[in-house]
């Protein structure tokens, strides 16, 4: 491939910046100063840019704990994106494999491997995506069965069967005992208003094999509940590294990468 394409692909700089660096004698190939930004180089060529080695990688894979408030996109003129958080390399071919809503946190794979992303996201490959959610209202076994049967949303979307597990279901006794000192709809010392219905929150895990727009939120809305918090925990064999704080990322291990390629 062309030297300038090699360097720009590895995030060394723009084509214009690279041409200027070549002209200034700041690029070497196999120990010799490069004279032409269009010269042909191979994946195993020893290339340096401004004194730093630039090793060619066809594909890269990052696990990120996506923070709330950042959009799942490669580029946006107004909003901060998950790719903006990757400061290890400024490659221009990175993208998130699947999207999480702006206010959703958790596991996100960022890569430039389109084939792998397709295998992960295509419903026909039946790749499970597991989420933790906090939901307003009391989730019941009727909801569990409705998810398992495959919900039909009000707009006509037919969801694939999903697994809903109740971790903690809100109930009236819990709501009343949560703050017996403050009568219903009266103001507490901290200024908040006590409302039994508002305090009813269930904790659940949901496993789906597709990823339609706002899907989990829409599924719970169809059952008369609102998702208050949502975090993706797993994607196929990939499990969110619990040492990653929101906004942090790391490269996939060889074991993790191999497990994805075996899907």
Rg (CA), the chain: 24
Contact 53, 237 (CB under 8 A): no
Q: Can you tell me whether residue 32 is helix, strand or coil?
A: strand
Short-list 219, 119, 214, CA closest to 160: 219
DSSP state of 213: T
Spatial CB neighbours of 215, under 8 Å, sequence gap ≥ 6: 159, 208
For residues 110 and 104, give the distance between their C-alpha atoms in angstroms, rounded to a whole number: 16
- Opening angle at CA 42, ends 40 and 43, nearest 5: 145
Q: Please count the residues of the chain.
A: 263
Spatial CB neighbours of 170, under 8 Å, sequence gap ≥ 6: 137, 138, 139, 199, 200, 201, 202
Burial annotation 176-189 (CB, 10 A radius, 16+ → b, else e): eeeeeebeeeeeee
For residues 183 and 21, give the distance between their C-alpha atoms in angstroms, rounded to a whole number: 72
Q: Which of 4, 30, 44, 101 is catalytic?
A: 101
For residues 227 and 229, give the distance between their C-alpha atoms in angstroms, rounded to a whole number: 6
Short-list 226, 228, 232, CA closest to 206: 232
Q: Is 196 assigned a catalytic role?
A: no
User: What are the catalytic residues?
Assistant: 101
């Amino acid at each position: 491939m062309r030297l300038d394409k090699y360097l720009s692909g590895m995030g060394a700089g723009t084509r214009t910046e690279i041409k200027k660096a070549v002209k200034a004698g700041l690029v070497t190939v196999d120990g010799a100063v490069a004279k032409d930004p269009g010269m042909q180089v191979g994946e195993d060529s020893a290339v340096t840019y401004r004194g730093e080695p630039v090793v060619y990688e066809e594909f890269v894979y990052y696990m990120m704990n996506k923070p709330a408030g950042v959009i799942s996109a490669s580029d946006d003129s107004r909003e901060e994106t998950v790719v903006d958080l990757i400061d290890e390399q400024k490659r221009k071919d990175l993208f998130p494999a699947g999207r999480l809503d702006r206010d959703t946190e958790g596991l996100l794979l960022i890569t430039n491997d389109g084939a792998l992303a397709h295998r992960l996201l295509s419903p026909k490959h039946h790749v499970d995506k597991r989420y933790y959610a906090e939901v307003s209202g009391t989730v019941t076994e009727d909801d569990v069965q409705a998810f398992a049967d495959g919900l039909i949303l009000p707009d006509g979307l037919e969801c694939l069967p999903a697994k809903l597990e109740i971790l903690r279901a809100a109930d009236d006794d819990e709501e009343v005992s949560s703050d017996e000192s403050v009568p219903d709809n009266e103001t507490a010392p901290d200024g908040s208003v006590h409302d039994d219905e508002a305090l009813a929150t269930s904790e659940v895990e949901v496993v789906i094999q597709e990823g339609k727009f706002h899907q989990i939120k829409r599924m719970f809305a169809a059952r008369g509940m609102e998702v208050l918090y949502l975090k993706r925990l797993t994607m196929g064999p990939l499990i969110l590294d619990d040492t990653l704080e929101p906004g942090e990322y790391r490269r996939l291990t060889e074991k993790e990468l191999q497990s994805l390629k075996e899907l």
